[in-house]
Amino acid sequence: MGQENGKMFLYKQLYTQLKEKILSGEYPSLSLLPSEREIGLANHVDRITVRRALQMLVEENLVQKQPGKGTLVIYGKPASQSALKSASIAFFLPKSARNSDRITQPFYASLFYGVQKECQRRGYSVIYSTLDEQDDFDAIVSANDFAGIFFVSNVSRAHIARALERKIPSVLINGYDERLPSVLSDNFTGTYLACRHLIKRGHKEIGVIKGVESYVTSIERLRGCVTALYEAGLALKNAYILGGDSWEVESGFEAVNTLIKSQKKLPTAFVAFNDRLALGAIQALMQAGVRVPQDVSVTGFDNSEQAKYALPKITTVEIHLPMLAKAAVSNLFGQMVEHVSLPAKLLIPVELVEQDSVSDR
């Protein structure tokens, strides 16, 4: 009898501890609790005790058991079947210049991994697909019954409008749209810092290598460069504004190679709008016998693996991609729980990472 009373005390005690963690937000809404085994080991109790404690949480509508997934936190609100019938979230990318249906860019691959990791922790899977203006958005969404949508970069505004009309919780990542929450790096500050760094190192003739010029990221990065140069009493020459049609290595190479072949005077430094463009620029310069950074300095953006392992290592801008992914996921799940969407622009802070591709003039 005493043992049974002890068991009752243990599972009630465990129930109280778990409840406090749920209500305090340590286990956030729509996240999965640790497994029964993990809870048992952490609290030094057996599986039966854990199951009794979890059952009490179920009866209070704090959690819901999901076969094959685990125990989902739903707070004190009973989860309707319609709200839980879909456990998948869309991750819609713009089609690349290669018209590929795969994630071909390292930035998108890393972003998807971060978003997927955060969503899985909450019991949801993430399905990625490319999406252009010709695709039938309604058919895609109806076939998958997505609980929410991550739009990425320059996805069609018409598709965003349709998602809002259908009242599907949605977040735009790496872009800005005044109609829905937008989460992106502080692109303006990133290139502003890169240009200021070059100016401090004595550079006065600075060129830029843009990504796709219609992207918000490209527009804001160009603005950051122009502002930094203007504050220093310098100007961005039209002849030194390169690229604009791609974010790939080949575009950076072709842009700089074309400038070299024109036999025009080269700038003393380039600010590339991502690390792949910077890598292409460095390849074109070195192929022409121009030393980096002794003759021409180059900076990138993203702090990717390419920047870390390039020769020379590329001075770049850290965008804190895991933070960006977490902010986007938190915003989307907040909509799914509260059913309120605030069309705010959330900027993730950036910082300059000084490496080996910049030298003094």
Each residue's pLDDT tens digit, 37-59: 989 999 999 999 999 999 999 88
Alpha-carbon distance 13 to 126, whole Å? 36
Nearest to 240 by CA among 229, 255, 224: 255
Q: Name residue 128's beta-bridge partners.
A: 91
Alpha-carbon distance 164 to 310, whole Å? 42
pLDDT at 152 over 50: yes
Question: Do 355 and 313 touch, CB atoms closer than 8 A?
Answer: yes
Alpha-carbon distance 251 to 185, whole Å? 22
Backbone phi, psi, residue 143, to 5°: -70, -30
Q: How many residues does the chain have?
A: 361
pLDDT at 2 over 60: no
Average the pLDDT over 142-166 and give the result: 93
Each residue's pLDDT tens digit, 157-182: 999 999 999 999 999 999 999 999 99
pTM above 0.75, yes or no: yes
Each residue's pLDDT tens digit, 288-320: 999 999 999 999 999 998 898 999 999 999 999
